[in-house]
Amino acid sequence: MRNMFSLEGKSVAVIGAGSGIGRAVAFGVANQGGEVLSLDVNTEAAAETARVITERGGAAASGHCDITDLTSVRDAIVNASWKAKQLDGVVCTPAINVRKPILKYTSEEFERVVKVNLLGNFHVLQAAGQLMTAQGFGSIVLFSSIRSIVTEPGQSVYSMTKAGILQLVKTAATEWGTTGVRVNAVGPGVIETPLTAPIKNNKEWFEAYAAKSAFNRWGKPEEMVGPTLFLASDAASFVTGTIIYADGGWLAQDGRFTPPGM
């Protein structure tokens, strides 16, 4: 049964591998025996992730990938496949957020968030799908969020894009299932990453978010590795068109008040 979760002999391109969850996932792929194609808009950060993996005895290469540019994405995916002689998995983690009330949002801010979070993921999905449907196998994992289900003031556009990613995943899964390609999403809760650093620096905000978790804490990037690698591995061979929420119980509970006698 342990072999079901192994990535031995598999190659996985991780987009966003230069930092945060993407970097943790890249290390996780290597730890499971997979070859890592470390991709990021920050070429130096991608190269550093690959360097650490190879120093630890793993197999890794790196490259540039700007998910807002379709040509960049296609080139990165094709190069990754060429280097590894096949491409078994693609994981895409990047996202941005502009927290503002709807009435204060500008068109430019709207377009910037949508361009990265929604159009960018569509580019990855399309480029990876073209390659994998042709080769007849593969697993694509995009990153959605708890914000695909629940939201809060200031999260309108971010939440919209994360819900949109989930629908892209479901649609791609229905279109490509007969070709042997699986498409799924991971839905993190609040994780300690560069994206959430401003919240962590605000004690009241940080503690409020911690209290929303059943564990009364934030998640770590490393805690997103397991769900992601499950979806990339043969253990998930009959799993497609769905999302795994790794949110510490955020969606399961309604507040943290415990009634007397409980």
- Active-site position among 144, 158, 159, 245: 158
Catalytic residue status for 162 = yes
Distance (Å) of CA 175 to CA 119, 126, 169, 229: 19, 12, 10, 23
Distance (Å) of CA 7 to CA 2, 3, 29, 207, 257: 11, 8, 7, 37, 43
Distance (Å) of CA 241 to CA 117, 183, 199: 19, 6, 32
Residue type, 42: N
Q: Are 242 and 184 in contact (CB under 8 A)?
A: yes
Catalytic residue status for 158 = yes
Catalytic residue status for 144 = no
Strand partners, 191: 219
- Active-site position among 10, 100, 162, 212: 162
* Burial tier of 4 (Cβ tally within 10 Å: 0-12, 13-18, 19+): exposed
Q: Are 183 and 241 in contact (CB under 8 A)?
A: yes
Alpha-carbon gap, residue 63 to 55, rounded angstroms: 18
Strand partners, 91: 14, 141
For residue 24, give the nearest of 143, 146, 173 by alpha carbon.
143
- Active-site position among 38, 139, 145, 159: 145
Q: Catalytic positions, please? A: 145, 158, 162
